[in-house]
């Protein structure tokens, strides 16, 4: 393997997806920041959920909000539905894996909250059911996906669809968009 060629190819692919994402999600990103600002200002919370790498992103972003992103400021109410092993195993055992997030959303989400489902394919059944449960609870369902948005796009009020097919490139954009969301919300504390 030519490591220099591999290195260049990977960064070139990242740059192409970054450019395509810039064009595709500018407007929905603004919508996401708007609803998250309203949630935070209204004393509500932001809930993240997803599987695998998306579960890790959910935890990462919830932590950036509750602790800090770039600077010390008041905490922002956020949580990841991927961290409570007792809930995950009980729901998986008693209801099934497809209801993993919906059951938690039913218990924890209320009107004014924002529920962000993350799936690179947009077709994860448990994430889709979580978004449906968010809508039923009058929380704002948001889909962070890739490819063509999959079935998730039909169950979200806001869709940030990364226009790529490669899972790694989609995940790179998801964490970038998530960091941008954290930065925008943190900036609001400077504006007060």
By CB atoms closer than 10 A (0-12, 13-18, 19+), residue 42 is exposed
The pLDDT assigned to 188 comes to 79
Average pLDDT value for the chain:
96
Q: What is the mean pLDDT of residues 97-110?
A: 98
Residue with the two structure tokens 């932590």: 63
**Residue 122 in this model has a pLDDT that exceeds 60:** yes
21-59 pLDDT, tens digit per residue, is 999 999 999 999 999 999 999 999 999 999 999 999 999
Domain layout of the chain by residue ranges: 3-190
- Lateral strand order in the sheet of 78-80: 78-80, 46-50, 114-118, 140-146, 158-162
Residue 129 CB: number of other CB atoms within 10 A?
Answer: 19
Cα angle at 87 between 54 and 143, to 5 degrees? 30
**Residue 131 in this model has a pLDDT that exceeds 90:** yes
In this structure, CATH architecture of domain 3-190: 3-Layer(aba) Sandwich (3.40)
Tell whether pTM > 0.85: yes
The pLDDT assigned to 78 comes to 98
**Residue 192 in this model has a pLDDT that exceeds 70:** no
133-161 pLDDT, tens digit per residue, is 999 999 999 999 999 999 999 999 999 99
**Tokens describing residue 18:** 């970054």
């Amino acid at each position: 393997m030519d490591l220099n060629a591999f290195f260049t190819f990977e960064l070139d692919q990242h740059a192409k997806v970054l450019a395509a994402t810039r064009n595709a999600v500018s407007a929905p990103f603004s919508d996401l920041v708007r609803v998250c600002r309203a949630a935070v200002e209204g004393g509500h919370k932001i809930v993240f959920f997803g599987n695998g790498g998306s579960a890790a992103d959910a935890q990462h972003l919830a932590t950036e909000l509750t602790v800090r992103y770039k600077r010390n400021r008041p905490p922002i109410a956020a949580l990841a539905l991927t961290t409570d092993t007792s809930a995950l195993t009980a729901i998986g055992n008693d209801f099934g894996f497809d209801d993993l997030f919906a059951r938690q959303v039913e218990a924890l989400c209320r009107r004014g909250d924002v529920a962000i489902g993350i799936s690179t394919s947009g077709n994860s059944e448990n994430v889709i059911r979580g978004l449906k449960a968010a809508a039923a609870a009058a929380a704002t369902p948001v889909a962070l996906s890739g490819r063509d948005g999959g079935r998730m796009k039909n169950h979200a009020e806001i869709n940030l669809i990364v226009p790529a097919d490669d899972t790694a490139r989609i995940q790179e954009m998801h964490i970038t968009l998530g960091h941008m969301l954290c930065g925008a919300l943190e900036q609001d504390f400077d504006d007060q």
